[in-house]
Structure 1
């Protein structure tokens, strides 16, 4: 942005209240200083735009959505890991039960084969127990197989979710990298514009700049506006004929205010006066 330069201004003077100033004490500043205020305003608008751009980067929404997906996937992964762990413990218990039954059946079979049991009743009982143990072993082995199937399914689910978590995390990392790169670019421009603003604002009379900053805080970031074709560029309202006549008759160094929005009105060759 080119800087409009003028001789170093003297301190602004104050005159009695005027309708152009909404009853406030009249502030005066050289026309060049008032025009320079538009340069300050343009830089402040650019800083506002950069702040909005920083807040509105598409990566913000992308990262937020991905983080929600990641949270859900991690919850599912924890549930799958818990299920796999439970199945592992259940499988271990079932295999121990099978082993215990197998060992008992082996001992019974050895007793039967040894001939040490001679009583017909004891032999019958022993044979019956061996048959029962064989059935029990078969049932328990079926349980082991069923648990193994459930565990295998849980492991597959864990592997699938682990891959999905890694994929989403990779997307988050990529979006975060793009966001941070955009931050760096925006912040560099903010630093440049801020420095330029300090230089330009430093050439504006202190009282005028103080009024501008006060109005800018009150009026959504716009404290000074050009009067263009009889219209305030701050509120986009055309001046009423009485207000227009007052502006026409005002001295060039009079700091005038918009009757509608109270912003500082800066007169230029395009004001249509």
Structure 2
């Protein structure tokens, strides 16, 4: 077994506490509720934005359809106006008058049909523009909500980052000058044991795995010199003796 100054072993507990806090802050940063809220509102916003784009495309199609209907009506009106002007001029023959009269009746029916189409398209366009206005309003509200959620997340992350910076500074100060072999063992165990590499021994219990050591292990540990680095037979973590007295 390796050895390290007793003070270094106790200080390693402080380093562990700071590393644990840093890991908690990192987890909190990744899983902060404000991040989830932002993700949810962004997803809703994306859905509404897609609906707005689809609705705008449909509106533009309806506008083109209305323009075509208006053009068709205008062409029939122009044709009827020309026929009426020839009829009113008094220069047309009897045969032409009959033909013009028949055509005017046909054009009147055609104009009525086209105006019905025009009216139907106008009504659909009006209803669609009303729906589009509602979608646009919903999008604007979600944009504002997204901005609020982003601001809330930014503020939360800034606070976490400030605390994390303090923890990092404190950790560097506490780790400075620690026994190199002890640090190497600590870092190796941290990687192997989910981040918790050292724990106090309180009575017969390892505070790392929370298990009671058997009498033989307790006797062996108690007999070991204070500088000797001992480990839990159950979980393999470094055990620091006398942590309660030191604190």
Give the TM interval when normalised to the shorter protein.
over 0.9
Residue 146 of structure 2 is aligned to residue 172 of structure 1:
yes
Q: CA deviation at 1:78?
A: 1.0
Paired residue for 2:22, among 31, 39, 47?
47
Identify the residue that residue 234 of structure 2 maps to in structure 1: 260
Identify the residue that residue 97 of structure 2 maps to in structure 1: 123
| Correspondences of 1:66-215 after superposition (within 5 Å) | 66-119=41-94, 121-215=95-189
Query: Are the counterparts in 2 of residues 81 and 154 from structure 1 also a CA contact under 8 Å?
Result: no
RMSD over aligned Cα, in angstroms?
A: 1.2
Residue 196 of structure 2 is aligned to residue 222 of structure 1:
yes
Q: 1:269 to 1:139 in 2, by over 3 A?
A: closer
Query: Are the counterparts in 1 of residues 230 and 238 from structure 2 also a CA contact under 8 Å?
Result: yes
Query: Are the counterparts in 2 of residues 226 and 265 from structure 1 also a CA contact under 8 Å?
Result: yes
**How far, CA to CA, are the matches of 1:49 and 1:160 in structure 2?**
43
Deviations along 1:23-48, one digit per CA (max 9) or x if unpaired, are xxx21112111111101011111101
Query: Are the counterparts in 2 of residues 36 and 200 from structure 1 also a CA contact under 8 Å?
Result: yes
Structure 2 residues without counterparts, runs of 5 or longer: none
SS of the equivalent of 2:201 reads strand
Q: CA deviation at 1:122?
A: 2.7
| Bigger helix share | 2
| Correspondences of 1:8-23 after superposition (within 5 Å) | none
* Number of matched pairs: 245
Structure 1 residues without counterparts, runs of 5 or longer: 1-25
